[in-house]
Amino acid sequence: MMNVPYFEPWITTKDKKSVMKSLDSRWLTNGPFLKKFEKKVSTFLETKFAIGTSSATTSLHLSLRALGIKPGDEVIVPTNTFAATENAVLYCGATPVLTDVDMDTFNISITDTKKKITRKTKAIIPVHYGGQSCDLKEIISIGKKFNLKIVEDCAHALGATYKNKKCGSFGICGCFSFYPTKIITTGEGGMVSTSNNTIAKKINLLKSQGMSVSAKSRESAGNWKYDVVDVGYNYRIDEMRCALGFSQMQRIDQINKLRIRVAKKYDKALSQIQGLILPINKKDRNHIYHLYSLRITPDYHLTRDELFAKLHKLGVGCSVQYIPLHQMSYNKKRIQKNQKFPNADLIKNQVLCIPIFPKITEKQIQKVISILK
């Protein structure tokens, strides 16, 4: 029986050669591939800087630290996201304030966001769910009105656009993930995009233990002296991962076109099935389909959990993304009982993400479709 994985990374011979080249070089961290990878991403996003990190989680943490987020501050986060988004706020000792999401895009609710702003609010982290941009015009407008920093969570959105401008270039920072299931992968890894010189300098400092001068810079200058000027972290990304990421960035447009092609096949085949609600693509946005998220409504002939079990039994990978943050055990004491997240609750009970990745075969696509029908 043919299995269809939920996701399968696309690793080419060129990718492997790039990694081997990094292994054959003298520097295995903070070397030439880091600079090449960062430059490639910043050029792609049209930002002044892109700073390599160990993950999207550390990218978010570094961004918030660089912005001075501290205990007593509040940061608005959509509840329909992975724990990493909220954890980055908690790492700073600040308070995450959860908002509901829109039913059509699963992205942060503008209406609920406005209700959650207080005098303690310092930032908003909009998450571009599934590869489709949030309503950035409204979010940026809110940020300007209330003097709030916008840190984009772009873990799903490398190449997604809003009004023909790349996600990750709107806020003060954009935070990307290169986890194996993401648009490109370095295994583990991340990137911060910004066009702010001060923020870029601060992030580079914090990601390497707060050291004033890197080891490579010291060697190049023939000087052994360095200082530690702030409490920092080891949030660096090594050369092998950068080599893989740099190689994959050479075909980033192709990767996203292949994802969109698969999504269109699903759209055409599934649009008339009663009880299935398909993901929408807003006219002013380029959805790159990191996820293809269905809603399984009561009009469908199976419940969501029954369909999940059927797909699993027949060898098709699928996922529920996400269990909202307000339902997580570690949030039970922090969330007030009168706070309601009706859209996120309904989405959690109905959502099912089906396989979508660049090199999925036509036979695999048709198997998924036939089971859903």
Model confidence over 28-78: pLDDT tens digits?
999 999 999 999 999 999 999 999 999 999 999 999 999 999 999 999 999
pTM (two decimals): 0.96
Helices 362-372 and 252-270, packing angle to 10 deg: 30
Task: Tell me the average pLDDT across 249-276.
Answer: 99
Res 1: pLDDT? 62
Res 337: pLDDT? 74
Res 222: pLDDT? 66
Res 336: pLDDT? 75
> What tens digit of pLDDT does each residue of 100-142 get?
999 999 999 999 999 999 999 999 999 999 999 999 999 999 9
Res 83: pLDDT? 98
Specify the length of the chain in residues. Answer: 373
Distance CA 278, CA 141 (A): 29
pLDDT band at 216, cuts 50/70/90? low
pLDDT band at 221, cuts 50/70/90? low
Place of tokens 């961290």: 29
Which fold does the domain 13-249 belong to in CATH? Answer: Aspartate Aminotransferase; domain 2 (3.40.640)
Q: What is the β-pairing status of strands 161-162 and 95-99?
A: unpaired
Report percent pLDDT > 90 for the chain. Answer: 93
Report percent pLDDT > 70 for the chain. Answer: 97
Sheet architecture: strand order including 285-286 = 165-166, 161-162, 285-286
Place of tokens 């050669």: 17
Which fold does the domain 252-372 belong to in CATH? Answer: Aspartate Aminotransferase, domain 1 (3.90.1150)
Res 197: pLDDT? 98
Phi, psi of 212, rounded to the nearest 5 degrees: -75, -25
Domain with CATH 3.90.1150.10 in the chain: 252-372
Res 334: pLDDT? 84
Task: Tell me the average pLDDT across 252-277.
Answer: 99
> What tens digit of pLDDT does each residue of 321-369 get?
999 999 999 998 888 777 999 999 999 999 999 999 999 999 999 999 9
CA distances from 310 to 8, 342, 369, 370 (A): 21, 27, 13, 12
Domain with CATH 3.40.640.10 in the chain: 13-249
Distance CA 282, CA 272 (A): 20
Phi, psi of 285, rounded to the nearest 5 degrees: -135, 150
